[in-house]
Structure 1
Amino acid sequence: MPRFAANLSMLFTEVPFLDRFERAARAGFEAVEFLFPYAFSAEEIQERIDRHGLQIVLHNLPAGDWEAGERGIACDPARVDEFRSGVVKAVTYAHALGVPQLNCLAGKAPAGVDAAVLRRTLVENLRFAAAALKTANLRLLIEPINPFDIPGFYLNRTDQALSILDEVGADNAFVQYDIYHAQRTEGELAATLQKHLARIGHVQLADNPGRNEPGTGEINYPFLFALLDRIGYQGWVGCEYKPAGPTEAGLGWREALTA
């Protein structure tokens, strides 16, 4: 059975962020992930991790002004210095918190910038980030996101992500494969997971439509969970979905769909 990590940016959001660690542990999760730690000190987060016996499996590099609608800056040629400063900050947090991998959100394509410039900027930023993370013994991830949820997001498809990683040429850089985003953009979930397993560093889930719990939509999660076991996926599966009701009330899918 896959190992599930609670995404604290999506689950238990009715309580303040630092209180979500306790809720995740009480709900039976052994690991968590979230968008960003930067609003808190590493010491504050580590205290919650230690208290509740959890581990953090993932967080993101700084991604610009999230509250203003920014969703990453890695493809923006006007913000290279900001991106690279963010890499240093993220590595500091990851080291302090024992996080093994960091996700880079490519961001929305800035208006009026040539496509070749966008790609070159992203590739060069990813090379910088991968080198910095390799020195720190960390893995770098990039995540394709569907263009319906985030219109204008630069990175949408698995094949595009793999092509970019080929150009980056770093052996510690992988795809973060979000099943929900992939279903909305390209489908072929099982075939893609099996074909590219060696290049997938992390998997996330939600059902479609609605981005709610597995079992609420069209995706055959019992089949996919069995497939992940069969093909030997060793990582965590991040539960990055919007609960249809109270988080705890919807957690029965973990047993029902993995039996």
Structure 2
Amino acid sequence: MKRRNFVYTSALAGSTLSLTGFSVFANPSQQKPAHNFQLKYAPHLGMFRESAGEDPIAQLHFMADQGFTAFEDNDMMNRPVELQTAMSKVMKERGIQMGVFVAHKIYWEMPNLASGNPEKRVEFLEYIRKAAEVAKRVGAKWMTVVPGHRDLKLRMGHQTAHVVETLKQAAAILEPHGLIMVLEPLNFRNHPGLFLTESPQAYEICKAVSSPSCKILYDIYHQQIQEGNLIPNIEACWDEIAYFQIGDNPGRNEPTTGEINYQNVFKFIHGKGFTGILGMEHGNSVAGIAGEEAVINAYKLVDPKS
């Protein structure tokens, strides 16, 4: 799944459609949700388009009807203000909590934050200011931050110091609003050459920034590839983790399609008392409505028992 064409790509086809294909003022479904999940799993737009259609509003209603109580949208920054507002209204009506969106332009092939370049720092901080306004509009608490590519001309310690300084300045922007940037380590196979790759590194950075507005996004798919040892590493970073994302490996599809024992991972997370969001940042292993049903059934299977 090509998930990271964030800031300068167009939004999902049909997402700016509107508000005409499905009225945001229509009465939401009065039926009891199909399932009561113990954890707040967050689908994304497109995951259920075969069942719900292209309209983002219709997709949100479908998610709520299935029992999902959260939603994430990497491309929310790109969406028209009127659509952001309409989606926020439906989420409030249906009891859906907004998860992460990507806060800034990500540098995949050249250094930005790690370089200490003052122009790149100014650019990043301007994105954070804009992201704070979007977060308030859509009711979001978290936003994804990826520090970008390594600077191969600098030692790691210098790069880390540059990243920490920039994130301290970003945290100062977010703290008054109660917003949180979550740092996402990414694996070497899908995203070679990036500065932030492992959970202990993210933990160290969060401790150095020392702000409630700078925490970890622990993507279980990425960290299975990058470091494995999932439950002990989650435990070791627990006090700095604010958000999880999900994907099985190999394939980056729904739980039960790969090697990760999501029943045990989710049981551990639930047992720790986690009340945040777990983003379903993966593809569907099977196409069509049957594949969408398979995704829902997979989460029913691995969700912790009450």
How many Å separate the matches in 2 of 1:3 and 1:30? Answer: 6
Q: Choose from 230, 252, 259 the match for 2:297.
A: 252
Match of 2:159 in 1: 118
- Deviation of 1:225 after TM superposition, in Å, equals 1.4
The two structures have a TM-score, normalised by structure 1, of 0.88
Could you give the per-residue CA deviations for residues 30-59 of structure 1, whole angstroms, max 9, x where no partner exists?
A: 221121322223331220232362331211
Query: What fraction of aligned residue pairs are identical, expressed as a percent?
Result: 27
1:194 has 2:235 as partner: yes
CA-to-aligned-CA distance 1:132-173 (integer Å, 9 cap, x gap): 110111122111111111011110111111111122122332
Aligned to 1:33: 72
Q: 2:89 aligns to what?
A: 50
Q: CA deviation at 1:75?
A: 2.9
Cα distance in 2 between the residues matched to 1:140 and 1:256: 31
Task: Write the mapping of 1:69-108 to structure 2, written as runs, cut at 5 A.
Answer: 73-78=112-117, 79-108=120-149
Tell me the distance in 2 between the aligned counterparts of 1:164 and 1:197. Answer: 14
Which 5+ residue runs of structure 2 have no aligned equivalent? Answer: 1-37
CA RMSD of aligned residues (A): 2.4
Taking structure 2 as the reference length, the TM-score comes to 0.75
Structure 1 segments, 4+ long, off by >4 Å, are 12-17, 69-73
Residue correspondences, number: 255
Residue by residue, what CA displacement relative to the aligned partner does 1:88-145 show, whole Å, maximum 9, x if unpaired? Answer: 0000101111111122111122454453442222111110111111011112211111
Work out which of the two has the higher radius of gyration on C-alpha atoms and give 1 or 2.
2
1:64–1:70: structure 2 CA closer, same or farther, 3 Å change rule? farther
Q: Which has the higher strand share?
A: 1
Q: Do the aligned residues in 1 keep the contact of 2:149 with 2:194 (CA within 8 Å)?
A: yes
Q: Provide the rounded CA distance (Å) in 1 between the counterparts of 2:189 and 2:175.
A: 33
Letter in 2 for 1:6: P
Structure 1: 5+ residue stretches without partners:
none
1:141 corresponding residue in structure 2: 182
Structure 1 residue 193: Cα displacement: 2.1
Corresponding residue of 2:5: none
Secondary structure of 1:202's aligned partner: strand
Name the CA shift for 1:31/1:60 in 2 (closer, same or farther; >3 Å). Answer: same
Match of 2:207 among 163, 166, 169: 166
